[in-house]
Amino acid sequence: MNARIPPTALDTTQALAQVSQQWDRDIVTQLKDYIAIPAKSPMFAPDWAAQGLLDTVLRNAATWVDAQKVAGLTLEIVRLEGRTPVLFFEVEGTQPGANAPGAPTVLMYGHLDKQPEFEGWRSDLGPWTPKYEDGKLYGRGGADDGYAVYASVAAVQALKSQNVPHPRIVGLIETAEESGSRDLLPYIDALRPRLGEVELVICLDSGAGNYDQLWLTTSLRGMASGTLKVEILTEGIHSGDASGVVPSSFRIMRQVLDRLEDSATGRMLPASFHCEVPAERLAQARATAAILGDETYRRFPWAHHDCGGSTLVALPTTTDPVQALLKRTWEPTLSVTGAEGFPTLQNAGNVLRPYTAFKLSLRLPPLVDAATCVQEMKTLLEDNAPYQAKVTWEGLSSSSGWNAPPMTHWFENALNAASRAHFGADCGYIGQGGTIPLMNLLSQGFPTAQMMVCGVLGPKSNAHGPNEFLHVPYAKKLTAAVAQVIAAMPMPATAAGRD
């Protein structure tokens, strides 16, 4: 193993002051403009190319990055036929030998596509009407994950302003992450010669357990989504005439889903959808539970109602903080996220509906292969349908999860130092229930790379839902922490002697 040359220290106070000023002076304004553009991901906007909104937000980001005049930075918008575009930038390294073939590279990742509007926004808020209030920037996509490209470049600028030597840095900003990053692998293949030897990945598309320390994501769940449709009639029939003879498509749907999930407990029934939790992750969950306590479940907007003069609040599946962390990160879970075949309540007459269709979202443990689960689901759901109904499962997207590689000493020390410098506490470790397909791809392509997967999606930030917000004070500190970790990355001694 090559010896490592100690890095040059970054003045953390100066770095935080600089990035804070840039957020206040420029980045918040850029993100307000970004939030106002409904650049929905292709899964939710099949006519995305005709709309041109993904191109608009990508061009806006590219224009801003170019205007920063970062020394040694070049950028381009890369387009492959029939695919959503990506922004790719390169920053020359300033360490000795940093630009030689085989020298270590830092890869910074983000995305600019967004989830749909969703309902339930506060009366004075909306998905495309940005509002900055009490340090929170409300609107769709600012926190997930439009800020990433701006924060990444601001972190590089912090290094440049102090003349801290740094490795070569590349950035990859995609526009189909919310559609399962379905276009990403072809771009990875096309850009692989330019990515270099990636030794550190910085992905700012994740979450935080609180806003009091830096949080490293240690695992991500996989995901499989699709549409399950049950058809029993070719047209609607008066329920007084047909019910009792014609089975309800909804009841058949319930029976079919019972093959997949225990409705009483929510446990997924196929054994292949489960995996054992690694001992290291279990120990980290216990440590994180000690930090967060009952906030592991209390942080969600539970429904409440009055009953006999007392207020009842909806309950979680568990009130054990350790189990709450594991259930949202290492257990498979089924959610119904959409429905079709139902009239509105106002228009619902006494008619037996011809079909019921559900959009299903299946979250899978980090070590379970998503493609295998999708195929098993098709057989499980479609075969031997009750009453010989027409049952079809059409998968929309799938991606396997990710479990972080072991941390090197320098990386662990750098995370803790950055967290202490900017938050006054050591770095926390937490698994996330979401999916970032890129991470699994990069772990396969660069198995020795360290993965700094962090983000601003802390308590009540509510990505994908109503009232999504970006916690700006936390984002400022995270930006400075990113600069500090890059500055702490040691360079192989062999690279120092290269021309």
- pLDDT digit string (tens) for 455-481? 999 999 999 999 999 999 999 999 999
Helix 147-161 and helix 472-488: axis angle, to 10°? 50
Cα 448 to Cα 201: distance, rounded to the nearest angstrom? 11
Rounded to whole angstroms, how far apart are CA atoms 360 and 75? 38
- Does residue 298 sit within a domain? no
**Same domain assignment for residues 395 and 416:** no
Angle between helices 472-488 and 409-423 (to 10 degrees): 140
Q: Is residue 497 part of a domain?
A: no
Instruction: Read off the pLDDT of residues 257-305 as tens digits, 9 standing for 90 and up.
Output: 999 999 999 999 999 999 999 999 999 999 999 999 999 999 999 999 8
Residue 6: which pLDDT band, with cuts at 50, 70 and 90? Answer: low
Q: How many domains does the chain have?
A: 2
Q: Express each pLDDT in 160-208 by its tens digit.
A: 999 999 999 999 999 999 998 889 989 999 999 999 999 999 999 999 9
One domain, residues 376 and 240: yes
Whose CA is closest to 369, among 267, 205, 206, 224?
A: 224
Residue 277: phi and psi, rounded to 5, are: -80, 125
Listed residue (491, 465, 482) closest to 120, CA to CA: 465
CATH number for position 265: 3.30.70.360
pTM: 0.90
469 and 337 both lie in a single domain: no
Q: 496 in a domain, yes or no?
A: no
Do residue 182 and residue 228 come from a single domain? no
Nearest to 31 by CA among 144, 147, 179, 138: 147
At 138 the three-state DSSP class reads strand
Instruction: Pick the closest to residue 137 from 459, 473, 465, 464 (CA basis).
Output: 473
Same domain, 186 and 250: no
pLDDT tier, 493 (very low <50, low <70, confident <90, very high otherwise): low
Q: Does residue 1 lie within any of the structural domains?
A: no
Q: What is the mean pLDDT of the chain?
A: 94
Angle, vertex CA 62, rays to CA 81 and CA 40, nearest 5: 60
Q: Which domain holds residue 253?
A: 222-282+315-399
Answer with the one of 399, 416, 450 that is the final residue of a domain: 399
pLDDT of residue 249: 98
Domain edge (last residue) among 399, 420, 449: 399
Note whether 194 and 75 are within 8 A (CB): no
